[in-house]
């Protein structure tokens, strides 16, 4: 039997993390939610933005390449410590011709998922272009996740893992990971991590009493308190209001 003392500090950190966040992915049957965040998915055409969004939310992989026109909208619901979180995922078109149009969609995004494909050097080099778009159009506190997609295409790799990591560090992005919409590698993790980071950030702005209410699942108390808190980007945005093309 494993002794308690055999745990390394890293193991304990993991255990604490497990305790801290009880995460459950739930379906779209939840009409009500406690927190809602807007997430924008950007990057060159063909890097797999739609596939990644589709795989994470519906578990489906689309082989055929049908380029997005304007944007597509996905929802991802999960529970963190019994709080229902709704992620509004705005999957944008990567084609250059639409680039100026999608600048409208950056507004109120809490997280930007900036995607390149590990087998497409140009898509990695264009990270600077996308980052400039973000700086010009998104709020300064929008967190950027750098994602190297198509990690299953190891034989065709044109961008090393370490280059992605370095790019994240140089640009002070929040997070970097490689994914595969095809195999599912890290596909949901991207969105779960986004929810965790945003949820944690909201907790920072709550008083001890409010946090205790959440821990004890005293929803009534928490909900009445939460009315007085201005939460990050909580307003639901209708696709029609911001639709471009
Ligand atoms: P735009 O809508 O034009 O911006 O493209 P996109 O970035 O949304 O790309 P999309 O998701 O449509 O995928 C483009 C092509 O890449 C499709 O043929 C997908 O099947 C393929 N693809 C996407 N993700 C992966 C992946 O992780 N691995 C592999 N092998 N192929 C992928």
Query: What is the residue-wise DSSP string for 208-239?
Result: HHHHHHHHTT-HHHHHHHHTTS--TT-S---H
Residue 80: what pLDDT?
92
Please list, in sequence order, all residues whose beta carbon lies within 8 angstroms of the beta carbon of residue 160, skipping any fewer than 6 positions away.
none
Cα(115) to ligand 1 centroid in Å equals: 11
Instruction: Tell me how far the alpha carbon of residue 123 lies from the centroid of ligand 1, in angstroms.
Output: 12
d(CA 233, CA 209): 23
- Find the 223 Cα to ligand 1 centroid distance in Å: 40
Is residue 83 within 8 A of residue 114, CB to CB? The reply is no
Query: How much is the pLDDT for 193?
Result: 96
**What is residue 226's predicted lDDT score, i.e. its pLDDT?**
39
Determine if ligand 1 sits within 6 Å of the CB of residue 69. Answer: no
Contact status, residue 236 vs residue 242, Cβ threshold 8 Å: no
- The three-state DSSP-derived secondary structure of 89-114 is EEEECCCHHHCCHHHHHHCCCCEEEE
45 CA → ligand 1 middle, Å: 8
pLDDT for position 96: 85
Please tell me the distance from the alpha carbon of residue 188 to that of residue 170, in angstroms, as a whole number.
Answer: 25
Pocket test for ligand 1, best of 42, 44, 47, 51 (most atoms within 8 A of CB): 51
- Quick: pLDDT tens for 82-101: 899 999 999 999 998 887 77
117 lines ligand 1 (CB under 6 A): no
What pLDDT is attached to residue 68?
87
Which of ligand 1's atoms lies nearest the C-alpha of 92?
4
Give me the half-sphere count of Cα atoms (radius 13 Å) on the Cβ side of residue 117: 20
Question: What pTM was estimated for this model as a whole?
Answer: 0.82
State how far Cα 195 lies from the chain centre: 7
Strand order in the sheet with 83-92: 23-26, 71-80, 83-92, 35-42, 111-117, 143-149, 175-178
Q: Mean pLDDT, consecutive 10-residue segments, the chain of 245 residues?
A: 53 60 81 90 97 95 89 91 92 86 86 98 97 94 97 98 98 98 97 94 76 56 38 36 32
- In the DSSP assignment, the letter for residue 172 is T
């Amino acid at each position: 039997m494993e002794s308690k003392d055999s745990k390394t500090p890293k193991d304990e950190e993991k255990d604490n993390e497990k305790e801290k966040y009880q995460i459950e992915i739930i379906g779209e049957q939840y009409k009500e939610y406690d927190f809602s965040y807007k997430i924008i998915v950007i990057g060159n055409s063909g890097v797999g933005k739609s596939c990644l969004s589709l795989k994470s939310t519906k578990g489906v992989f689309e082989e055929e390449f049908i380029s997005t026109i304007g944007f597509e909208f996905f929802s991802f619901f999960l529970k963190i410590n019994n709080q229902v979180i709704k992620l509004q995922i705005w999957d944008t078109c990567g084609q250059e011709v639409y680039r100026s149009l999608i600048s409208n969609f950056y507004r109120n995004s809490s997280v930007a998922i900036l995607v390149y494909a590990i087998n497409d050097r140009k898509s990695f080099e264009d990270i600077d272009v996308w980052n400039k778009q973000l700086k010009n159009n998104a709020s300064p506190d929008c967190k950027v996740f750098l994602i190297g997609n198509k990690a299953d295409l190891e034989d065709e790799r044109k961008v090393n893992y370490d280059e992605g990591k370095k790019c994240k560090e140089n640009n002070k992005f929040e997070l970097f990971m490689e994914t595969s919409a095809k195999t599912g590698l890290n596909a949901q993790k991207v969105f779960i991590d986004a929810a965790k980071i945003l949820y944690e950030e909201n907790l920072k702005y709550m008083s001890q009493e409010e946090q205790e209410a959440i821990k004890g699942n005293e929803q009534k108390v928490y909900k009445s308190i939460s009315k007085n808190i201005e939460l990050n980007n909580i307003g639901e945005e209708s696709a029609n209001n911001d639709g471009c093309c």
